[in-house]
């Protein structure tokens, strides 16, 4: 049985040997052109004139194109307001302005220097505070309101007020935005893109070139990382490559440099959240108020949905009996911020975890005790602020098990002794949790389809709408199909995702790639399996095969074929003890004209949340977890070391434990990077300065926890999802907050009863400046 086993990633060997093909690894054709992108020189203003006449004189240049060359120049996942290329109004600095089609990269750089741009510059809005002053809003969300908040605040024993501020984050995928467009006959285009959403890429390209959707095929073999950054914004760059290919009737390759990619594309949304919290002497939360402000950047992109998810997750793992949660997104003259692993969930969840750490410091009790008494309950205190039941709740079990397994109590005492005995070194400890809702909050996206083709040698090709970006979704599809047919996973080949085989697909996002596409794959396999069981049943019972037999009766369960069992490449009948091989039953089906292919459509049932009335079910289920982190701070330099992290995750009945543990560890480290080292620096004119590996610091091996323990909770209660599994992609990233709250815990030892007041990321500089306040 493949399901539940540690099957290696389907590209593990080819990644290690360098044989994996990414976009820029595709062989260059003889008539292929390269495409460079020139960005705007200011953050806000109006384009008066573009003069590229001198650049066109360069040897090796085939053409220069602007917004006017597109049939339609607007795109956007939610609101079609963003220009593919700037037409007249500049939204942000380095926004794509010109396309340069050339013979090699050297000519691109020469051409950029020769293009003259005349701009009427205006004052830019670059921060949340500036946007609030200018009342520059993208959207305002419907607030979550429960109970009688104001009266509780008036009679509460304790009230804390404050501001939680967290910065953005660069996706830093290894493969930059990349596309190759191949012009075909009859005006058709085949686009190979590093995209999480082939269907949106197909649609944006078609719209930009005034083609029918059926004239564009988008193919995604794999991505060299995505993390949300290629959910929507890959489509824009694919349209640019497609335009050049269409104009020149030649293949066109557009692969951004890391610098251009970082300057031109959106990031995780920075948030600035105000809050008030009322609580009693034990730390029990009595009432909660918060106003979330997200920096959406220049255009809408996915910001409304990201703001919604931040509001959905500001409760974290904790019950609010009385609450008022409001949210708004601001429009600024920065790159249009976009999806990033967690999709607003981390910004919401980290807010309440920070507040709880402050409550603990204020009350002088351990933060674990406050978290424990505020956790969602099993039989009561289990309804979210947006009205959803937290069913199959394992949060109390997770927190208690991790408390015991980590020896939290003694660990806290050891840290206290260390801090008393050492000067110049500080240690801190904190445990935080996650309760991450699994589903797209846009109901229509919770659908998928799969195509399964079996060949007569016993091998199987599976095509789904899921895109592989390193997370192992293809491996899980392999295991699901192999388990359904009772054959080795090596006989399952995952095909490149293509819009001609899997149409109208949803993005591989919201941690739902394996859920939706895995369920569709299983349904497609079961359709074929029903036919094969019918064939085997007739054979084993000695029934003469008649192709007028009513196959649908077997397919729809009118005739029981449970006695036909597929396992270990063998088909056997439990009634007669007769057997035949997997290949024999396939040939028998083929020669009797029984289909060996299957297509299936899946939609997640029971979902439907009305944002206006705050009724319905927003999520299919919740993925839960907790992390304990121990940190050490050098008080002279602000240097941070993560000494230890213990994680306990509930991933249901895991399809592939090895891949899931890899996802947990990777997500945690990425979340830890967001709250510690990954700082986006901008010039006062809005230009991103940290746009390369030399200036933008993702965690390296020395930043990861010295001791790193990950355990998966055994839990078979999740009947809502394929094979009782749970999604893993995004939830563990929220646990990176435990490092940040552990920093707060350490700082409080020196703060002389002040509450540590740090922003995220807590870089060495931020820590050092905070320590200087205590002197």
Q: What is the CA radius of gyration of the chain?
A: 28
Cα–Cα distance measured from residue 397 to residue 381, given in angstroms and rounded to the nearest whole number:
16
Q: 133-139 contacts: CB < 8 A, separation 24 or more?
A: 136/330, 136/331, 136/332, 137/328, 137/329, 137/330, 137/331, 138/296, 138/300, 138/303, 138/304, 138/329, 138/330, 138/331, 139/300, 139/303, 139/304, 139/307, 139/328, 139/329
| Contact by Cβ (8 Å): 264, 297 | no
3-state secondary structure (DSSP) of residue 471: coil
198: helix, coil or strand?
helix
- Give the distance, in angstroms, between the CA of residue 748 and the centroid of all CA atoms in the same chain: 33
- Residue environment code for 709-743, b if the CB has 16+ CB neighbours within 10 A, otherwise e: ebebbebeebebbbbebbbbbbbbbbbbbbbbbbb
Q: Which residues are catalytic?
A: 730
Cα separation of 686 and 90, whole Å?
A: 13
What pairing do the DSSP bridges indicate for beta strands 608-610 and 597-603?
A: unpaired
Question: Strands 460-464 and 492-494, how do they pair?
Answer: parallel
Contact assessment for residue 628 and residue 410, using Cβ atoms and an 8 Å cutoff = no
User: Is the backbone of residue 370 left (phi > 0), alpha (psi -120 to 50) or beta?
Assistant: alpha
Is the bond preceding 39 in cis, omega lying within 30 degrees of 0? no
Please give the Cα distance from 596 to 583 (Å, whole number): 12
Comparing C-alpha atoms, which of 250, 324, 183, 360 is closest to residue 751? 360
Tokens 């050297």, located at residue: 106
Minimal CA–CA distance to 242: which of 272, 215, 271? 215
The whole-angstrom separation of Cα 764 and Cα 110 is: 40
In the DSSP assignment, the letter for residue 387 is S
Are 79 and 300 in contact by the 8 Å Cβ rule? The answer is: yes
By C-alpha distance, which of 281, 286, 277 is closest to 374? Answer: 286
Q: H or E element: which one contains 667? A: helix 657-676
Indicate the SS3 state at residue 285: strand
Burial of 605 (0-12, 13-18, 19+ CB in 10 A): exposed
DSSP string, 336-355: -----TTTTHHHHHHHHHHH
């Amino acid at each position: 049985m493949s399901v539940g086993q540690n099957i290696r990633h389907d590209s593990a060997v080819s990644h290690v040997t360098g044989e994996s093909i990414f976009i820029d690894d595709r062989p260059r054709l003889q008539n292929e052109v390269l495409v460079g992108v020139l960005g705007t020189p200011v953050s806000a203003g109006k384009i008066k004139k573009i003069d590229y006449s001198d650049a066109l004189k360069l040897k090796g240049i085939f053409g220069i194109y602007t917004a006017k060359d597109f049939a339609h120049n607007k795109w956007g996942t939610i609101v079609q307001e963003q220009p593919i290329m700037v037409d007249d109004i500049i939204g942000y600095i380095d926004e794509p302005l010109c396309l340069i089609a050339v013979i090699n990269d050297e000519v691109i750089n020469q051409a950029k220097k020769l293009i003259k741009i005349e701009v009427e510059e205006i004052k830019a809005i670059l921060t949340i505070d500036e946007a609030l002053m200018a009342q520059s809003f993208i959207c305002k969300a419907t607030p979550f309101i429960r109970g009688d908040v104001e009266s509780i605040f008036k009679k509460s024993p304790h009230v804390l007020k404050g501001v939680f501020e967290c910065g953005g984050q660069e996706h830093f995928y290894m493969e930059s935005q990349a596309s190759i467009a191949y012009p075909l006959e009859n005006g058709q285009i085949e686009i190979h893109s590093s995209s999480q959403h082939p269907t949106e890429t197909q649609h944006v390209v078609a719209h930009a070139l005034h083609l029918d959707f059926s004239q564009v095929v988008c193919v995604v073999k794999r991505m060299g990382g995505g993390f949300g950054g290629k959910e929507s914004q890959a489509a824009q760059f694919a349209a640019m490559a497609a335009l050049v290919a269409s104009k020149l009737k030649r293949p066109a390759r557009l692969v951004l440099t890391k610098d251009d990619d970082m300057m031109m594309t959106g990031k995780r949304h920075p948030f600035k959240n105000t809050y008030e919290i009322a609580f009693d002497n034990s730390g029990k939360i009595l009432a909660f108020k918060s106003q979330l402000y997200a920096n959406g950047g220049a255009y809408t992109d996915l910001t409304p949905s990201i703001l919604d998810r931040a509001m959905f997750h500001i409760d974290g793992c904790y019950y609010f009996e009385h609450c008022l949660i409001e949210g708004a997104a601001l429009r600024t003259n920065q790159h249009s911020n976009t999806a990033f692993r967690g999709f607003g969930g981390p910004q919401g969840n980290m807010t309440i975890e920070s507040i709880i750490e402050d409550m603990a410091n204020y009350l002088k009790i351990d933060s674990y005790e406050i978290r424990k008494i505020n956790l969602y309950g099993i039989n009561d205190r289990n309804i979210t602020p947006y009205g959803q039941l937290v069913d199959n709740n394992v949060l109390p079990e997770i927190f208690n098990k991790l408390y015991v397994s980590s020896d939290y109590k003694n660990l806290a005492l050891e840290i206290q002794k260390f801090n008393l005995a050492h000067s110049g070194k500080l240690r801190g400890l904190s445990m935080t949790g996650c309760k991450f809702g699994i589903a797209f909050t846009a109901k229509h996206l919770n659908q998928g389809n799969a195509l399964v083709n079996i060949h007569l040698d016993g091998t199987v090709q599976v095509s789904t709408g899921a895109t592989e970006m390193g997370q192992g979704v293809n491996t899980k599809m392999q295991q699901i199909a192999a388990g359904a047919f009772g054959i080795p996973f090596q006989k399952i080949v995952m095909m490149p995702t293509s819009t001609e085989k899997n149409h109208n697909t949803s993005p591989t996002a919201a941690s739902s790639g394996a859920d939706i596409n895995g369920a569709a794959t299983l349904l497609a396999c079961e359709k074929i399996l029903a036919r094969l069981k019918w064939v085997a049943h007739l054979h084993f019972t000695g029934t003469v095969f008649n192709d007028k037999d009513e196959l649908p009766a077997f397919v729809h369960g009118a005739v029981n074929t449970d006695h036909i069992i597929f396992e270990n490449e063998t088909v056997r009948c439990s009634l007669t003890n007769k057997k035949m091989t997997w290949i024999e039953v396939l040939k028998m089906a083929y020669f009797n004209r029984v289909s060996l292919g299957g297509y299936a459509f899946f939609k997640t049932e029971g979902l439907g949340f009305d944002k206006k009335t705050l009724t319905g079910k927003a999520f299919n289920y919740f993925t839960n977890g907790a992390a304990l982190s121990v940190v050490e701070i050098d008080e002279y330099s602000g240097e941070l070391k993560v000494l230890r992290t213990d994680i306990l995750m509930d991933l249901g009945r895991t399809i592939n434990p090895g891949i899931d543990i890899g996802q947990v560890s990777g997500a945690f480290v990425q979340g830890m990077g967001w709250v510690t080292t990954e700082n986006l620096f901008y010039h006062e004119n809005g230009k991103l300065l940290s746009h390369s590996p030399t200036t933008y610091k993702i965690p390296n091996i020395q930043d990861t926890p010295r001791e790193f323990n990950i355990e998966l909770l055994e839990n078979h209660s999740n009947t809502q999802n394929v094979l009782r599994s749970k999604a893993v992609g995004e939830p563990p990233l929220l646990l990176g907050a435990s490092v940040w709250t552990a920093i707060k815990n350490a700082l409080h030892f020196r703060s002389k009863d002040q509450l540590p007041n740090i922003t995220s990321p807590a870089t060495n500089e931020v820590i050092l400046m905070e320590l200087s306040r205590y002197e």
